[in-house]
Amino acid sequence: MIDYIRAYFKNKDTVRHHISDCYGMNINRYTRFSKRDDDEIKYCTYFRDFFNLNIKITNKKGFVENSLHTLYNNINGSEINRNDNDFTYNNLLSSLDYVKNLLDCPLEDAFLSQGLEFGFNIEVPFDVDCFINNDCVFYNYRTHTSTEDTDVKTIKVFSKGYCSFKIYNKGKQFQLPYPLLRIELKFLDKRGFNNLGIYTLSDLSDKDNLQKIFNLMYSELDKHLMMVDNIEVREFTDYKKKILYRYCSFKFWKELPSFKLKKEKSKCLKMLQKNKLLNNKIFVLDAIKSKFDELIKE
C-alpha cells in the first residue's frame, strides 16, 4: 500500500502560522548572495517533525514528507520507523486525516511530488536473500541499478523510465523469525502517477486510484521483472544449463542485435515456462494480488 509521500502545500504561510501557533516550529535563518539581485538575500526555513513526519517551509515553498505507513504505526504506539506489518486502506485514511488536521490544510491543496512509494510485505516459502541476489535477474532485460547485501540488509533496485522497484529482505531488517519479502514501486517522476490521474494527497484516499497504481505495479512486475528459480539445483543437462545461464546474462542481452531481440525474448520466456523456472515469480505475483485485495477491503 502507500508508503513514502512528499506533498507541497499551496498556502505555506497559512500552514506555517497554524503549526507555529499550535505546536511551535524550529527556525533556521541565513543569508546567501544572489547574483541576479547582486545582493545578500535573507532566507528563513521553518521545520518541525511530528513522529517520523517532516514538515519544512522555506521562502519559496512548503512540504510534508515521509512514510504514512510508519506514521500510522508511530501514532499507534509502534517502534520508530517500523513498517513491516500490513497497512490497510482504513489505516491509510487515518494517516491522511492526521496530516490534514496537522497542517489545517485541505488534502486537495497538497500536491504530490516525485518519490511516491507503493509496496507490500509478503511472507514467502523460500530464502529471501537467495531470491533477491540470485533469482531477481533483470528489469526489462537491464541489470539492477543498485544492490546491497550485508548482515543487516539485502536489497536490490531496478529502474526504468518514471519508476523503480525496490526489493528487499524486510525480515532481516527487523530480525523477524519468518521470511518476509518487501516489493516496492517508487515513482521517480510525478508524471508516472499523474498519468493515472493522481495529483494530490486527497487522490490517495480514492480506492480506484489505488487500484490504478496496483495495476501498474503488477503489470510491470509481470511483464518486465525477470525472476528465475535456481537453475543449479535442477537436474538439467549441461547444454540446457548453458542456454539458461546465457539468458540470465546481461552481456548476452546487451550484445544481442536489435533485430533478434523480440525472437530471443520469446524463446527465453517459453524455455523458462517449459522448465518450470518461474514458480517463485508466480508465487510473488499471486501473493501481492491477494495482499492488495485484503488490504483495500479493510
Domain assignment of residue 269, given as a range: 230-277
136 in a domain, yes or no? no
Q: 69: how many CB neighbours lie within 10 A of its CB?
A: 25
Per-chain mean pLDDT for the chain:
95
User: Distance between CA 48 and CA 62 in Å, rounded?
Assistant: 12
- 231 Cβ contact partners less than 8 Å away, ≥ 6 residues apart: 241, 244, 245, 248, 277
132 conformational bin, left if phi > 0, alpha if psi -120 to 50, beta if neither: alpha
pLDDT for res 80: 67
153 in a domain, yes or no? no
265 in a domain, yes or no? yes
211 in a domain, yes or no? no
- Give the strand order in the sheet containing 62-67: 26-34, 39-50, 53-57, 62-67, 4-9, 110-112
- This prediction has a pTM of 0.94
200 in a domain, yes or no? no
267 in a domain, yes or no? yes
> Could you tell me the three cell numbers for 277?
523456472
Q: Are 65 and 201 in contact (CB under 8 A)?
A: no
> Could you tell me the three cell numbers for 70?
510508519
205 in a domain, yes or no? no
pLDDT for res 201: 98
234 in a domain, yes or no? yes
Q: Are 275 and 130 in contact (CB under 8 A)?
A: no
User: What residues of the chain score a pLDDT lower than 50?
Assistant: none
User: Distance between CA 201 and CA 111 in Å, rounded?
Assistant: 6
Number of domains composing the chain:
1
